[in-house]
A and B are shown apart, each in its own frame.
Chain A
Amino acid sequence: SQKIEQNSEALNIQEGKTATLTCNYTNYSPAYLQWYRQDPGRGPVFLLLIRENEKEKRKERLKVTFDTTLKQSLFHITASQPADSATYLCALEPNTGRRALTFGSGTRLQVQP
């Protein structure tokens, strides 16, 4: 069956360090992979989209990689700040069949000052 796995354990890091979050998937042929941020009591907010033929995408302090061989995406936040503390969700859209996003359960990031 199709699965999207994100580390359910919270990631705790010190301010200024680089946070790296992982999204692994099985039995998918994703056309797109997206990353969202969700704060408590709020809706997810879009951060970055990467296509299957792209290896890497950057936006300010954020970087996403997409390895379709490993079936994995890594999400990096450099020079992390306490304000980056939130839950980060990855979402896939397949390139066949039902064209809709399927979300992982998210990883909570806690940046300590």
Chain B
Amino acid sequence: DTAVSQTPKYLVTQMGNDKSIKCEQNLGHDTMYWYKQDSKKFLKIMFSYNNKELIINETVPNRFSPKSPDKAHLNLHINSLELGDSAVYFCASSQGRGGMTYEQYFGPGTRLTVT
């Protein structure tokens, strides 16, 4: 009965490829997020969606494109993968929208390795 799930858990791919990571939450939350955790363990927000509306878009290369088909899903598509994209990507969700951040529930992460 996973609250926030992500697929795949591991993703190994070559430079230049396009890949997607999927995220689903069954908590009924309105807001979903994508974070990147680099090798130094810093967890940085990339995007935030509230009810399918983009509310936070950090300085992320436009090769990264989030898509929210409904408020329970937030997918991340990455074009033309680069070595520097290697990291662990976490999806998260919370109640409320920006300005009323409650605790966030994280998925298990997707370890992306670009070779």
B109 on the A face (CB < 8 A): yes
A34 on the B face (CB < 8 A): yes
Residues of B within 8 Å of A, CB-based: how many? 24
Question: Are B103 and A43 in contact (CB-based, < 8 A)?
Answer: no
Interface string of B84-99 (1 = CB under 8 A from A): 0000001010000011
- Interface of chain B residues 40 through 66 with chain A (CB within 8 A): 40-45, 48, 56
Question: Are A100 and B48 in contact (CB-based, < 8 A)?
Answer: yes
CA distance A87 to B33 in the complex (A): 21
Contacting residue for A43 out of B42, B48, B92, CB 8 A: B92
CA distance A102 to B56 in the complex (A): 13
Count, A-B residue pairs, CB within 8 A? 50
Shortest beta-carbon distance from A2 to chain B in Å: 13
B104 on the A face (CB < 8 A): yes
Contacts of B41 in A (CB 8 A): 87, 105-106
A98 on the B face (CB < 8 A): yes
Residues of A within 8 Å of B, CB-based: how many? 20
Question: Are A46 and B104 in contact (CB-based, < 8 A)?
Answer: yes
Shortest beta-carbon distance from A35 to chain B in Å: 10
CA distance A87 to B88 in the complex (A): 16
Contacts A43-B109, A46-B104, A103-B42 aside, 13 further interface pairs with beta carbons under 8 A come to A43-B90, A43-B108, A44-B43, A44-B106, A46-B103, A49-B102, A98-B56, A100-B33, A100-B56, A100-B98, A100-B101, A103-B44, A105-B42
